[in-house]
Amino acid sequence: MQQQDLAVIILAAGKGTRMQSSLAKVLLPLEGHPLLHYVLDLSSKLNPVRTIVVVGHQADQVKEAFAGREVEFVVQSEQLGTGHAAQQVQPLLKNFEGSVLVLCGDMPLIRHETILRMIDEHKSSSAKCTVLTLKSSESHDFGRIIRENDGSVLKIVEVKDASEAEKKVDEFNSGVYCFDNRLFFKALGHVGTDNVQKEYYLTDTIEYLVRNRYSVRAIQTKDANEILGINSPDDLSRAVRLLGEHRGPS
């Protein structure tokens, strides 16, 4: 049965320059399927009322590859950051009441159970935003979760903008979020480009919500493999190995 109070946005507009391929990143094959296939499968298991994919690079090819799926597409014509990508969805969800789950189209290994736990805790806590984070003693090239002294989430700092002290934080952003729909787009409207990359960061919505005293929660995973984003040929090889391990011996 469809969850009438859940919509899914999948960010899939990136070119994937480091992949050394002419294909859009979400079309790169992993065990016989494009990367985006795995994220769409996850979304379908959640039974959302709508699944919207933000496409950009090779948008027509991505649409064609998934023409048979129950998804909607919206085009980010300029690559101006994750916040800008998410803003493109606003006209489609302007009348939607409920929660919006934001997923990354290049993250094929995230578990259905983890997302269900995240959504359940988001709803039961009445939070306006819930972030999936990784708690790890290892170093990762992800944004850092900055917390107040009382443990509450304060903001997310992208690694390129982080101070040396912030880079020592051992809780990392996964890029997966659950938002109250109306507050999500309100927060996106206040995101600017005052950062190293001069992009609209989706992560800056967190600081806006906290500053305006809305509840933001973090749900942790300790499995870095689960939030592996495919950004290099090495990442893709690692994903192939991990999928094989998950299936077990043939």
Q: How far apart are CA 50 and CA 96, in angstroms?
A: 10
pLDDT band of residue 22 (cuts 50, 70, 90) is confident
Tens of pLDDT along 136-181?
988 888 999 999 999 999 999 999 999 999 999 999 999 999 999 9
Beta-strand runs (E) in the chain:
3-12, 29-30, 33-34, 48-55, 72-75, 99-104, 129-135, 144-147, 153-157, 171-180, 216-221
Q: Which of 18, 50, 211, 247 is catalytic?
A: 18
What does pLDDT average to over the chain? 93
DSSP type of residue 120 = H
Candidates 106, 115, 105; CA nearest to 177 is 115
247 pLDDT band (50/70/90 cuts)?
Answer: low
What is the fold, at CATH topology level, of the domain defined by 3-242? Spore Coat Polysaccharide Biosynthesis Protein SpsA; Chain A (3.90.550)
Q: How far apart are the first and last CA of the chain?
A: 34
Q: Domain residues of the chain, as ranges?
A: 3-242
pTM equals 0.94
Higher pLDDT, 132 or 1: 132
Long-range contacts of 111-114 (CB under 8 A, 24+ apart): 111/226, 112/42, 112/45, 112/46, 114/221, 114/226
* pLDDT tens, position by position, 25-73: 999 999 999 999 999 999 999 999 999 999 999 999 999 999 989 999 9
Give the contacts of 222 (CB within 8 A, at least 6 positions apart): 134, 135, 136
Q: Hey, what are 198's tokens?
A: 């001069």
213 in active site: no
pLDDT at position 246, please? Answer: 67
Span 220-231, mean pLDDT? 92
pLDDT for the residue numbered 20: 75
One-letter amino acid identity for 57?
H
Would you tell me the crossing angle of helices 35-46 and 112-125 to the nearest 10 degrees? 50
Q: Are strands 99-104 and 3-12 parallel, antiparallel or unpaired?
A: parallel
Two structure tokens written together for 183? 């507050």
